[in-house]
Structure 1
Amino acid sequence: MTREHERLDEDLSRGKNWKRWGPYLSERQWGTVREDYSEFGNSWGEFPHDHARRRAYRWGEDGLQGWCDRQCRLCFAPALWNEKDTILKERLFGLGGNEGNHGEDVKECYYYLDSTPTHSYTKALYKYPQAKFPYTEIREKNALLGREGPELELADMGMFDNGRYFDVVQEVAKRSPEDILWRITVTNHGPDPAPIHVLPTLWFRNVWKWGSERETPLRKPSIALHGDHVFASHETLGDYLFYADSPDFDDDEEWLFTDNETDYPAIYNFGGPSEYVKDAFHKLLIQGDREAVSPLPMGTKATPHFHFMVAPGASVTVRCRLHSTLANNDIHGLEQFEETFTERIAESDAFYSEVIPKGLSHEENLICRQGYAGLLWTKQFYHYVIEDWLKGDSDGPPPPEARLKGRNSDWGHFFARDILSMPDKWEYPWFAAWDSAFHMIPFATVDPDFAKDQLLLLLREWYMHPNGQLPAYEWNFSDVNPPVHAWAVWRVYKIADPKGQRDLLFLERAFQKLLMNFTWWVNRKDMEGRHVFGGGFLGLDNIGVFDRSHALPDGGKLHQADGTAWMASYCLLMLAMSLELAAEKPAYEDIASKFFEHFVSITDAINSLGGTGLWDDTDGFYYDQLIINHDDPVPLRIRSLVGLLPMCAVTVLKQTTIESLPGFRKRMDWFLSSRPELLKYINVRRHTGDKKSALCLLAIPSEAQLRKTLQRMLDPKEFLSEFGIRSLSKAHEEEPFVFEHGGTTNEVAYTPGESNTDMFGGNSNWRGPIWFPTNFLIVEALERYHHFYGDSFKIEYPTGSGVQKTLKEVAIDICDRLISLFTPDKNGYRPCFGEAHRYTDVPHWQELLLFHEYFHAETGEGLGASHQTGWTSLVVRLVRERREKLCHKTL
């Protein structure tokens, strides 16, 4: 057991609170729904980037790869200035949906390089241009770009030419849970000496301003100078000492103080509670206003000021230490600083040498190490209390009347003040239920207890609606994400603990709440009671011909192939969990038979309702059906993931499992004898003729339907890309799907890259690109089919090649295609970086990875949110499975 594994055990047993501090600070608090108090929910306009340095936040804080405690009471992050920027660099900059050509978009280059699960060691890199940061220019020029063109980035504007930038590397090492060391290393890669100011800033989140009965402290916290350090005191967090120095700084550092208060004169043109405000350090350095900072060495925000002239190729270092007065470890100031870092780095390496499978290539190791780092860095403090948010704060004006009936107003029970796994801490600094489910698959290996806790947390009564719905995402909790939570629970249950030691209590706790969620789905999304579902947009944003989350033409209704497939999968997962629990508690046999029957009924409906269900035998594909004015259903012949997902509703049961549960077996036999027409959906296979080896396949498609679907999916002219499975068939490039009704024409065409529509803000695209979550499910499904059919089932792969392969071989190859997005091609370039050849050609950009939201289906270039490590870190799991399970012979 490594030292980091010991720390995880100490934290789990509450012996030592190793996770109290971490990189939990958001990369963007401005522009979020939480900070929006406008009448009609214009979050980006209500709190823009230009206000961020001046306005105290209500619900959180943000910083440049910063840290805070688990309740975001005390924060630390650097501020930087190159003597050319018009503002201090305190947080990441990006464009709102109405400012860019493809939705929200961060305009910075930063990378998460390492983190242990207890954050005993973390490392991150920020690339800071030496030229004036083009805030105005990049906003204006991007606003002029059309949706067909690429986004304008910093590199396109020459910000990194000739190496004229600083690498700012931040490392944090915990000597003990309450003794934290912070090292900032700044390197000049340019040809000339360049100035930089480094301000390692410590501040308290402002909770005293709002008049909240839940949070307002009895006394305001403070940070005050005590000799060579500052003393930070907080009512509930405790007392801390903060030290800072630099071996490269000749003078004594100057300590600056202000308050974390809104700059009322600058924002509102009237005075506020304090004349020393949030942007005081900006005013001092940029504007030369010495009176902006407090003349007294105390406040709620403080920093030492270091100013360097860095020679070409040289580095300077700032060292800081924050520790509780109760945890000085008999060490004064910054003693034993470097030794602690050396020890923690070695321990991080030792931990990952056990976590990451042996025998991987250097490139595969790089994917795993940075994939885990990004996953751990995107844990974030998330605070949102709907009741307080709706009614407003006692020190401010009451919110507009429309607010009480607007966004999230029917989620008054919702109360979040937790560390959550985020999709992305800049573009999506809020949880999304189905994203979180996928995050937990790689998390189950690196920190299994965190994975379990996250899955249970979203099922708790202060998240889950009383009616059983899970909150979708901050923008609209009532939207409908795919019901993948049960899948994540089942997968984490099996991954997190070795067989024979699995956590049945976790499984049962989740199962009970999932029953409520399943019931909500059945009652709300199968309104006709015919086992065909219309769930809404289901996370696939613009994949349909119209917005599936809004009213359909002429009040029509939609029978969704993907919604129905998700529910069939949900049944199978609940069946698998109930059978697992029934081995210990026979009462679960009853509920197991219910989910078995429900799955068979859904499968019958999707294949037979109205004669052929949603299956089109001529095309060999499942399609959504639109019903308008009670007329015959109109199939929406769009070949997309919507029609591939029914293939993913599959599980394989062992006959021995069925036989070991006589109550379940009895009810299963009675159901099938009473409904013999449904026997066609149950497929039994014996590999050796021995009854004990028999397997039972439960799947939506029959073998014939599966072959037809695979023929489409594995065709390079349709779904099979060099980099995985496309979200829309390439056939729609030449033949777009066109839907005309009521004088309106809607069209869906193959779009392999960024979205060219405004649907869902235009910041994601499901009309062609490669998406990891759905590709992962497809690979899993192929594994299950191979487990049942074995090597006797072969399919032409790729379609049209004349080569026959087993489904296991197909799954391995799709894995390889997905992994290849991050590995150098024959020319040495990583496809995920597109034409940005600096990642290969320039030494200080090499071996840096970004885990994008989705990927261009033809080039492999990473698109959308550049740091959506959450579900794209599934590539780490694919690397593991390819090594450990999928390819015993083929490696």
Structure 2
Amino acid sequence: MTREEERLLEAHSRLVHWRRWGPYLSERQWGTVREDYSENGTAWDYFPHDHARSRAYRWGEDGIAGVSDNHQYLCFALALWNGKDRILKERLFGLTGSEGNHGEDVKEYYFYLDNTPTHSYMKYLYKYPQAAFPYAELVEENRRRGRGQPEFELVNTGVFREDRYFDLTVEYAKVSQDDILIKIGATNRGPEEQPLHLLPTLWFRNTWSWDGSAKPVLRATGSGSATAVVEADHPTLGRRWLYCEGPEELIFTENETNHARLFGVPNVSPYVKDAFHAHVVGAEASAVNPDRVGTKAAAHYTRALRPGQTAVIRLRLCDRPDLAQPFGGEFETVLKTRIHEAEEFYARVCPDGTPEERNIQRQAFAGMLWNKQFYHFVVERWLKGDPSAPPPPASRRQGRNHEWPHLYNDDILSMPDKWEYPWFAAWDSAFHAIPLAMVDPDFAKGQLELLTREWYMHPNGQLPAYEWQFSDVNPPVHAWAALQVYEMEQQIYGRTDRSFLERVFQKLLLNFTWWVNRKDAEGKNVFQGGFLGLDNIGVFDRSARLPTGGHIDQSDGTSWMGMYCLNMLAIALELAKENLAYEDIASKFFEHFLYIADAMNHIGGEGIALWDEEDGFFYDVLHLDDRHLCLKVRSMVGLIPLYAIETLGPETLGRLPNFKRRLEWFVRNRPDLRRNVACMETAGIGAYRLFAIVSGDKLERVLRRLLDEDEFLSPHGIRAVSHYHKDHPYVFSSDGTEHRVDYEPAESTSGLFGGNSNWRGPVWFPVNYLIIEALGRFHRYLGDDFKVECPTGSGRYLSLAEVASELARRLVSIFKPDGRGRRPVFGSADLPFEADLLLFYEYFHGDNGAGIGASHQTGWTGLVAALIQRAARQHPPAPEAPRDPRAAAPEPLSTS
């Protein structure tokens, strides 16, 4: 067992609180719903970036490469000034949804290089231009560009020419649960000597202004030493000390809003949040407190760096007031030890794979772990306002999220991205749990359980979708994720947590009931899920009232529910192995699945089927008063029926005689239902039984399109919309208005569905991952003799297991160097950065694999780590030649 695994066990047993401190600081708190107290819910405009340096936040904090305790009482992050910027750089800059030509987008370059599950070692790299940061140019040029043009990125401004930037590396290593070593390195990559100000900053989140709690204090202690010390005293957290090696000065202010600057009214304190900006950039000595006391403090270092020169500063944040030599030999020894332990841990997690694959996987894990965030949002208080603050506008009582007054968030959550999406999303969280379970099953399980707790789940059983609108509907993948995590913990760590599975199952019974009662409008087992996270994939905005009237029977909504039934069935059968009472509920989900499968495939009677026999594909159906119309868009909507599949082995059926007897009763007595299920009665390979919406003949026809490179199959995965629609757009006319779906491999050219609606052609990892999982299950039943042409028309026939591996290979190839040494993820961009540094984008170009959307959304794209693991186990790697990165590049990952 590695030392990191021992720490995880110590945390699990509550012996040591290793997770008390972590990378829990957001990378953007401004422009979020939580900080929005506007009348019309204009979050992006109400609290802009220009206010962030001067205005105290209500619900959280942000910073660069920062850490905090798990309740975010005390925060630490790095601030910078290159001598040219108009503002002190204390946070990452980007465009809000109303500013960018393709929605929100961070305009910085930073990389998560390493992180362990207990955060015993972490490493972060930030690329800081030496020229004045082009804030105005980025805003103005992106506003000028239309949706048909690419985004204007920081590198396009020319600030990185001739490598004129600093590499800032920030490393953290824990001596103990409350003793953290901090090492900051600054390297001049440019051709000339350049000045740099570094301000490692410690501050308290402002709670006292809102709830009247006791105010904490930071103060300078000691004198006449090469080490400066800041003492932090908090009524709940207790006392901590920040040791700073050799700064020029310690500066102090208050984490209070500068009302005079923002609103033209007197300040409550002469020392305000943006004092360090005024002191360093504006040279205002009086801006900081001469008594060296406050709620925000920084150690100020100035360095003039020659080309290639690196400056190193060291700090130590701990609960020990009496360290005589905080930066003695122990500092470097512990740091090297934690780096070695991180290497050892990840060698245990993924012993297979090529060096290139391990590099991709390591950075994917690092991103997943760095994107944890303290998320605080008490909706009732947000709706009503704080006692010490002016009341919110009356419109808030009937506005966004007013139906969720019970929601009380005060937790460490896995974020899709801490800049563009610094809030949780239900189906994102489910997918995050898969790679997280590979390194930290306890945290993964905790994330899944949280969303089912009574202070998250609505009393009616709905899971909160995401911050912008909790009442929107995400696909019901929680049960799938819970079962996956349960099985992964068994396979990787040899542990079985039935208690977790049972707790989640009981809560998901409520959620399943909500779906049945709210989303099956006519009680016919055909569902109208609405939005379902796929944004603009359909002809209409499915989260709004249809312009035609009527409603849509959704192929994807119904299929998600079929999958949900089978996931709940599988969980019930697993629990029934030790408690036979679960056989009854398993039978219930089995029966419900039969009705859904029947509704999906039924031909004749009222309406029309979601399966189109002529095209061999599933489509949505529009129901109007006088007619039903099949919306023939070839999209992921027609592939999602593949997800509804489960296989049952003879061992399971042998141990559960009551369930087996009910299954056989349906086989004998309900031929009308069983005909629409793939195969309940014929045993497959290994005597497995198959429950699936898509039967063998339908499977071959759907896969023919799925594996056609002129339709769904791209060089880098499965497209969300068929390439067929590039030359054959789907057009639907109603009352003189044309509604259409074109193939759009990158960003959407329409803003009708919201700023970040991009499901009309790109490759998305979560839905691809589920296709791969489904094909694996089909193969379990059908075996190696069932082969399909892959790619369609190639003459090459593969088993479904081989097809799944081929899809996984194509997805992983997004991050691997191609024959020219270029990684598809970066497209044609000529980035002046090291070859081994990676970004994990939100989604990927449907033709060339270039990363699009949020550039640091390591959330569900972190599934690449699981795909690499899967491929490595099936195909042991051949020896790989060593890479030859730039000599001047920093180490891509920690080395022992």
Task: Report if TM-score (shorter chain) is over 0.5.
Answer: yes
8 Å contact 2:204–2:216 — kept in the other structure?
no
| Counterpart position of 1:478 | 471
Q: Which moved more, 1:221-230 or 1:186-195?
A: 221-230
Counterpart among 436, 442, 454 of residue 443 in structure 1:
436
Could you say what secondary structure the match of 1:671 adopts?
helix
8 Å contact 2:142–2:152 — kept in the other structure?
yes
| Counterpart position of 1:283 | 278
| Counterpart position of 1:249 | none
| Counterpart position of 1:17 | 17
| Counterpart position of 2:298 | 303
8 Å contact 1:165–1:188 — kept in the other structure?
yes
| Counterpart position of 1:222 | 218
Q: C-alpha displacement at 1:821, in angstroms? A: 0.2
8 Å contact 2:248–2:300 — kept in the other structure?
yes
Letter in 1 for 2:450: L
**Residue correspondences, number:** 870
- Determine if the alignment matches structure 1 residue 268 to structure 2 residue 291: no
Within 5 Å, give how 1:574-589 maps onto structure 2: 574-589=568-583
8 Å contact 2:384–2:392 — kept in the other structure?
yes
Within 5 Å, give how 1:598-747 maps onto structure 2: 598-608=592-602, 610-611=604-605, 613-629=609-625, 631-680=626-675, 681=677, 682-686=679-683, 693-747=686-740
| Counterpart position of 1:66 | 66
Q: C-alpha displacement at 1:887, in angstroms? A: 8.1
Report the Cα distance in structure 1 between the residues aligned to 2:271 and 2:245, rounded to whole angstroms.
25
Deviation readout 1:748-779 (Å, 9 max, x if unpaired): 10000111111342324100000000000001
Q: C-alpha displacement at 1:836, in angstroms? A: 2.1
Listed as ranges, the gaps of 5+ residues in structure 1 are 247-251
Could you say what secondary structure the match of 1:762 adopts?
coil
8 Å contact 2:435–2:862 — kept in the other structure?
yes
Report the Cα distance in structure 2 between the residues aligned to 1:615 and 1:547, rounded to whole angstroms.
22
Report the Cα distance in structure 2 between the residues aligned to 1:487 and 1:738, rounded to whole angstroms.
35
Report the Cα distance in structure 2 between the residues aligned to 1:171 and 1:253, rounded to whole angstroms.
22
- Determine if the alignment matches structure 1 residue 869 to structure 2 residue 865: no
- Determine if the alignment matches structure 1 residue 53 to structure 2 residue 53: yes
8 Å contact 1:357–1:880 — kept in the other structure?
no
Report the Cα distance in structure 2 between the residues aligned to 1:417 and 1:786, rounded to whole angstroms.
43
Report the Cα distance in structure 2 between the residues aligned to 1:658 and 1:392, rounded to whole angstroms.
56
Letter in 1 for 2:723: K
Report the Cα distance in structure 2 between the residues aligned to 1:877 and 1:48, rounded to whole angstroms.
37
8 Å contact 2:121–2:171 — kept in the other structure?
yes
Q: C-alpha displacement at 1:684, in angstroms? A: 4.1
8 Å contact 1:124–1:171 — kept in the other structure?
yes
Within 5 Å, give how 1:394-433 maps onto structure 2: 394-433=387-426
Report the Cα distance in structure 2 between the residues aligned to 1:532 and 1:716, rounded to whole angstroms.
31
Task: Mark the CA change 1:199 to 1:887 in structure 2 (over 3 Å): closer, same or farther.
Answer: closer
Report the Cα distance in structure 1 between the residues aligned to 2:47 and 2:495, rounded to whole angstroms.
49
8 Å contact 2:220–2:250 — kept in the other structure?
no
Listed as ranges, the gaps of 5+ residues in structure 2 are 881-896
| Counterpart position of 1:552 | 546
Report the Cα distance in structure 1 between the residues aligned to 2:615 and 2:876, rounded to whole angstroms.
33
Could you say what secondary structure the match of 2:413 adopts?
strand
8 Å contact 1:684–1:695 — kept in the other structure?
no
Report the Cα distance in structure 1 between the residues aligned to 2:797 and 2:835, rounded to whole angstroms.
39
| Counterpart position of 2:487 | 494
Could you say what secondary structure the match of 2:536 adopts?
helix
Deviation readout 1:710-759 (Å, 9 max, x if unpaired): 00110011000000100000000001011111221111100001111113
| Counterpart position of 2:885 | none
Report the Cα distance in structure 2 between the residues aligned to 1:493 and 1:555, rounded to whole angstroms.
43
Letter in 1 for 2:646: T
| Counterpart position of 2:894 | none
Report the Cα distance in structure 1 between the residues aligned to 2:876 and 2:282, rounded to whole angstroms.
62
Report the Cα distance in structure 2 between the residues aligned to 1:875 and 1:814, rounded to whole angstroms.
12
8 Å contact 1:572–1:596 — kept in the other structure?
yes
| Counterpart position of 1:562 | 556
Task: Mark the CA change 1:219 to 1:802 in structure 2 (over 3 Å): closer, same or farther.
Answer: closer
Q: C-alpha displacement at 1:695, in angstroms? A: 1.2
Could you say what secondary structure the match of 2:112 adopts?
strand
- Determine if the alignment matches structure 1 residue 515 to structure 2 residue 509: yes
Deviation readout 1:208-245 (Å, 9 max, x if unpaired): 001x2xxx423443334433311110001010111112
Letter in 2 for 1:767: R
Q: C-alpha displacement at 1:361, in angstroms? A: 1.0
Q: C-alpha displacement at 1:804, in angstroms? A: 1.5
Displacement over 6 Å in runs of 4+ = 886-889
Q: C-alpha displacement at 1:886, in angstroms? A: 7.4
Letter in 2 for 1:487: W
Could you say what secondary structure the match of 1:183 adopts?
strand
Report the Cα distance in structure 2 between the residues aligned to 1:666 and 1:592, rounded to whole angstroms.
12
Letter in 2 for 1:192: E
Counterpart among 767, 773, 786 of residue 793 in structure 1:
786
Letter in 2 for 1:602: I
Letter in 2 for 1:566: W
- Determine if the alignment matches structure 1 residue 530 to structure 2 residue 519: no
Report the Cα distance in structure 2 between the residues aligned to 1:329 and 1:276, rounded to whole angstroms.
30
Deviation readout 1:472-513 (Å, 9 max, x if unpaired): 000000000000001100000000124974111111001000
| Counterpart position of 1:758 | 751
Within 5 Å, give how 1:9-158 maps onto structure 2: 9-158=9-158
8 Å contact 2:684–2:781 — kept in the other structure?
no
Letter in 1 for 2:868: V
Task: Mark the CA change 1:734 to 1:266 in structure 2 (over 3 Å): closer, same or farther.
Answer: same
Could you say what secondary structure the match of 2:376 adopts?
strand
| Counterpart position of 2:845 | 856
| Counterpart position of 1:386 | 379
Q: C-alpha displacement at 1:325, in angstroms? A: 3.3
| Counterpart position of 2:893 | none
Q: C-alpha displacement at 1:632, in angstroms? A: 2.3
| Counterpart position of 2:889 | none
- Determine if the alignment matches structure 1 residue 319 to structure 2 residue 314: yes
Deviation readout 1:418-456 (Å, 9 max, x if unpaired): 000000000000000000000000111100010111111
8 Å contact 2:201–2:299 — kept in the other structure?
yes
Could you say what secondary structure the match of 2:342 adopts?
helix
Letter in 2 for 1:438: F
Task: Mark the CA change 1:173 to 1:795 in structure 2 (over 3 Å): closer, same or farther.
Answer: same
Deviation readout 1:352-404 (Å, 9 max, x if unpaired): 1101133x111101111100000000000000000100011122211111101
Q: C-alpha displacement at 1:686, in angstroms? A: 4.0
Task: Mark the CA change 1:501 to 1:97 in structure 2 (over 3 Å): closer, same or farther.
Answer: closer
Report the Cα distance in structure 1 between the residues aligned to 2:186 and 2:580, rounded to whole angstroms.
62
Could you say what secondary structure the match of 2:209 adopts?
coil
| Counterpart position of 2:183 | 183
Task: Mark the CA change 1:346 to 1:146 in structure 2 (over 3 Å): closer, same or farther.
Answer: same
Report the Cα distance in structure 1 between the residues aligned to 2:657 and 2:260, rounded to whole angstroms.
75
8 Å contact 1:229–1:243 — kept in the other structure?
yes
Report the Cα distance in structure 1 between the residues aligned to 2:196 and 2:376, rounded to whole angstroms.
34
> TM-score, length-normalised on structure 2?
0.95
| Counterpart position of 2:891 | none
Task: Mark the CA change 1:305 to 1:225 in structure 2 (over 3 Å): closer, same or farther.
Answer: same
Q: Which moved more, 1:317-326 or 1:879-888?
A: 879-888
Q: C-alpha displacement at 1:334, in angstroms? A: 5.5
Report the Cα distance in structure 2 between the residues aligned to 1:695 and 1:678, rounded to whole angstroms.
20
8 Å contact 2:666–2:674 — kept in the other structure?
no
8 Å contact 2:713–2:719 — kept in the other structure?
yes
Q: C-alpha displacement at 1:291, in angstroms? A: 1.2
Counterpart among 323, 334, 338 of residue 340 in structure 1:
334
Report the Cα distance in structure 2 between the residues aligned to 1:725 and 1:296, rounded to whole angstroms.
62
> TM-score, length-normalised on structure 1?
0.96
8 Å contact 1:196–1:309 — kept in the other structure?
yes
Task: Mark the CA change 1:54 to 1:653 in structure 2 (over 3 Å): closer, same or farther.
Answer: same
| Counterpart position of 2:836 | 847
Deviation readout 1:634-690 (Å, 9 max, x if unpaired): 1110000000000121111113312321111222233343322222223444467xx
Report the Cα distance in structure 1 between the residues aligned to 2:330 and 2:643, rounded to whole angstroms.
54
| Counterpart position of 1:349 | 343
Task: Mark the CA change 1:236 to 1:544 in structure 2 (over 3 Å): closer, same or farther.
Answer: same
